[in-house]
Amino acid sequence: MDYQELCLHIGRRIKLYRKNQNMTAKQLANTIHKSTSAVSKYENGEVAIDIITLQEIADVLGVTVAQLIDIQKETDYVQDNPLTQSRGFFSYGSNFYAYFVNGKNREICKNILELHSNDMSVVLYNRLEDYSNRYNCKHLYYGEVSVSDTYIHMVMQNQTNNAEKLYIVVFNPFSKQDIAYGIISGISSRNMMPISYKVAISKHPLPENEELLDKLIFTKKELRDIRIYNNFSIDLNRE
């Protein structure tokens, strides 16, 4: 990553955290004693930010400097790494598309997962409007990935809400299929209660249609199993 890309990445992170704090660019500028124009240039990656100003911005946004310069160089393949050695769905590539259905209106929520095999870390861009700008997300999560024989586990922290951690467990199929299914759990923004959804993770963006909706809502078998076994699980043999 070159100098300009780094400036742009830091600027996008600042804008993301600022918006998550419901703070305007002018409010941030006033707090760090800069002009609104200067903050705009920071966020657009047009100028480099000195370390003192970067620390001031991090303090105002309630994050660390590391969270603003969290750039990672992804390698194509890391030998002796449990993620790449699993040889399953997540073996290669770092960008995946995650979907779950939220609310009575059955809204399909879009997310992007970045898996870094070099240090077994994960970033989740949660509740995107579209895929053209992953930085324009509702929430940002950071965490770690662990691998078992057939499952991938991800535990992440909401970067603007220390009360929430997110957990994703996904079946890691060995067959050459395009979608893997699992469960995503966190805290509901509606009532601040623990909540879980069925999640579909794809190597490519999926059409947000009735077919995808049908795959993400609970089946009759899944609902029946909840009543019988008093636990929440998904039917991996549905397809």
**Same structural domain, 148 and 217:** yes
Residue 76: what pLDDT? 44
The dihedral formed by the CA atoms of 125, 128, 133 and 138, expressed in degrees to the nearest 10: -60
**Same structural domain, 166 and 94:** yes
Residue 80: what pLDDT? 52
**Same structural domain, 36 and 140:** no
pTM flag (> 0.85): no
Pick from 68, 95, 119: which residue ends a domain? 68
In a domain, 140, yes or no: yes
Q: What is the CATH number of the domain that holds 31?
A: 1.10.260.40
In a domain, 237, yes or no: no
- Binned average pLDDT, 10 residues per bin, the chain of 239 residues: 85 90 93 96 94 95 86 53 62 84 88 85 91 87 86 90 89 77 87 90 93 91 90 72
**Same structural domain, 113 and 210:** yes
Residue 83: what pLDDT? 59
Give me the number of domains the chain comprises. 2
Pick from 29, 45, 68: which residue ends a domain? 68
Residue 89: what are its φ and ψ, rounded to 5°?
Answer: -55, -40
Q: How many CB atoms lie within 10 A of CB 143?
A: 19
**Same structural domain, 98 and 192:** yes
Residue 238: what pLDDT? 55
In a domain, 190, yes or no: yes
Q: What single letter denotes the amino acid at residue 183?
A: I
**Same structural domain, 106 and 223:** yes
**Same structural domain, 150 and 56:** no
In a domain, 74, yes or no: no
Residue 73: what pLDDT? 59
> Domain range for residue 140?
82-229
Pick from 17, 42, 68: which residue ends a domain? 68
**Same structural domain, 63 and 120:** no
Q: What is the CATH number of the domain that holds 143?
A: 2.40.128
Which contacts (CB < 8 Å, 24+ apart) does range 192-198 have? 196/232, 197/100, 197/101, 197/102, 198/100, 198/101, 198/222, 198/234
**Same structural domain, 110 and 29:** no
In a domain, 203, yes or no: yes
**Same structural domain, 129 and 203:** yes
**Same structural domain, 100 and 196:** yes
**Same structural domain, 99 and 216:** yes
Task: Report the candidate in 203, 238, 198, 235 with the shortest Cα–Cα distance to residue 108.
Answer: 198
In a domain, 121, yes or no: yes
In a domain, 238, yes or no: no
In a domain, 234, yes or no: no
